[in-house]
Amino acid sequence: MAALGRFDDALPMLALTPAIMARNLYWETQWDPWRKDPRFAALLAGMGRTEELRRARQALDDLGAERGGTK
């Protein structure tokens, strides 16, 4: 549903994401439009994944800077 732009519909299902799959929430680009949404942060906090998200996003920012992108 998120891929269809229906984040409100996808959010309850995302809360059921198994821990082993949670990393996809921080790396997959399909979630970029919602990463600044406070509900996305609350979802990850509820899953105990706030620090992992912060590290993943920092790694992606650093990689972009190394490749000549902007931070």
pLDDT by residue for the chain (71 residues), tens only, comes to 555 567 888 888 888 888 888 888 888 888 888 888 899 889 888 888 888 888 888 888 888 877 776 54
* pTM of this prediction exceeds 0.85: no
pLDDT of the residue at 34? 84
Of 16, 9, 14, 10, the residue nearest 26 (C-alpha) = 14
pLDDT of the residue at 52? 86
